[in-house]
Structure formats: C-alpha cells, structure tokens
Amino acid sequence: MLASTKTTSPIKFKAGEEMRKVYLVGAGPGDPELITVKGLRLIREADVILYDRLVNPDLLKEARPDAELVYCGKKPDAHTMTQDMINHLLVKFANQGKTVVRLKGGDPFIFGRGGEEAEVLVQKHIPFEIVPGITAGSAVPAYAGIPLTHRGLSTSVAFIAGVTKKGEDLDAYWSKYAGIDTLCIYMGVKNLPLICAQLIKHGKSPDMPAALIRWGTTEKQETAVSTLGNLSEKAAGLRNPSLLIIGEVVKLREELKWFEQLSAAPACTG
C-alpha cells in the first residue's frame, strides 16, 4: 500500500452544481510512488475509476472497496474499448451523479487523449478537472540515467509520436526534428528502423547516441544503448512499452545509471 496522505476536505462543488464530476488523472509512468498527492487522493475518493493498461495495479488497491473499476486498456492494434466507448462511459457515469476518475498512464495531455475526453465533457456540460501526471518522457530517461537537457550537450527537447497518420509525408514529418538536440519518441518500437533511417536521412549522424528503454521506472526496466545507425539491431529484442531517446545526452547514462545500481545493490541486513 502507498503511504497515507491527509485529505484536507472532501471534494467540493459550487452552489447549485450537481454532485458529479470527472477527473482526468495522470497515474505517472509506472512506479506507483510517482503519482501526485492529488491524484492519489482522488483515487481513494472516486465512485468509478476507468483505468488504462499501463496504470500500475498497486494504485487500484487504493480505491474504495465499493468503487467500480473499469478497464479501458489499449495495446497497439488491440483495443479493449474504442475511444468513443470510453467517452460514452465517462458521460454515462457522470450523469448518474458519480465522481469519476479517468486514470491514465503518464500525463493525460501528453499522448494520452485527455484533450479529446475533455472536449466531450465540455460538449455534455459535465464539470471536470485535469490532474497532471509525470509523463514517461521525463521520468523514464531519468530512471535510465539520461538527462534530457545538459549544459554543453542539449538545450532543446522534443516529445514526438513515433507513428504518423496514414498517408502522411514521412520526409516532411521527420525533417522537422533532425535539428533538435534531444528527441524523446513515444510509440516508436514498431517503426524503429524507419525512424532511425529518416533521422539520418535528414541530418542526424549515424553515430548519434541512442537508447531504447522498456518498462521504464519499474523493476522490469531494460535499456539498450547504441548509435542511431545500429540501435534497431541492438534493441531488436525489446518490445512495447518502450521509449526512444536520441541525443548526445545518452552518453551520460554510463556514469549516471543510478536505478540499475540501486536494484542490484544487496539488501541491508542490519
């Protein structure tokens, strides 16, 4: 169980407002202790929790015994529910007068479709709040010992989707990012060879350091480090969920990889 947090007051509503509200809550990147204090409080108070595939199960143990838990997980090309179905449930439960937590991996507004869900709630006149979470893009490289910015190495960072719209011009898409110091690419495993080839085509050196990190911030974390030209071969065994980091900052991992060292340290026996 996670550490207890004090609830200063129950959820409050404005005068005349119906007892219903939806909270789009970021659950963080995997380590359950990385959730915010507010996010944890709302999990404990919710009537209904609609949760994603990458939400740590330990967070769900914090829910009330009578809370309804609804799984909305999505794997690549294998969705338990469509986005329209999720939107429908958010509206349905809220209109039943329930306090609803939509628990999303990472941050709701960074590749989490939180904006789409918030738009639906606005259209249906349902009050809501956004509770930001720690996104994988910042937490996962930190746990791998890779700072996204570093004086002398990186003064710019981009969070990028590794998948594009059907029919989108790949050259136009990837050429925009070749000049950025550090690239943090979500959903890039399937297209890893294409991504590396495109970035090299548009100016990134084949010798640029790169890393693919799987199950970041959890005890299952795996990291493959190579160059942009060789990463596809080096990381061939890694699958989703993974995050791709490209930039000179990856060189710092060898010195700063604290999490693996912490996990490998012998337990203290007193």
Is residue 181 within 8 Å of residue 157, measured between CB atoms? yes
Annotated catalytic residue within 52, 104, 107, 208: 52
Asked if 208 is an active-site residue, the reply is no
Annotated catalytic residue within 187, 190, 234, 257: 187
Is residue 246 within 8 Å of residue 185, measured between CB atoms? yes
* Distance of alpha carbon 99 from the chain centroid: 23
Is residue 122 within 8 Å of residue 151, measured between CB atoms? no
Asked if 85 is an active-site residue, the reply is no
DSSP-assigned letter for residue 145? T
* Distance of alpha carbon 160 from the chain centroid: 12
- In whole angstroms, what is the distance from residue 209 CA to residue 223 CA? 13
Inter-helix orientation angle 83-95/114-123, to 10°: 50
CB atoms within 10 A of CB 110: 18
* Distance of alpha carbon 119 from the chain centroid: 20
Contacts of 53 (CB under 8 A, 6+ apart): 71, 73, 74, 75, 80, 105
Annotated catalytic residue within 74, 98, 124, 257: 74
**Per the structure block, which two tokens stand in for 181?**
């110091």
Asked if 84 is an active-site residue, the reply is no
Q: Which residue has the tokens 């429908």?
A: 88
- In whole angstroms, what is the distance from residue 71 CA to residue 51 CA? 5
Is residue 33 within 8 Å of residue 217, measured between CB atoms? no
Just list the catalytic residues. 52, 74, 187
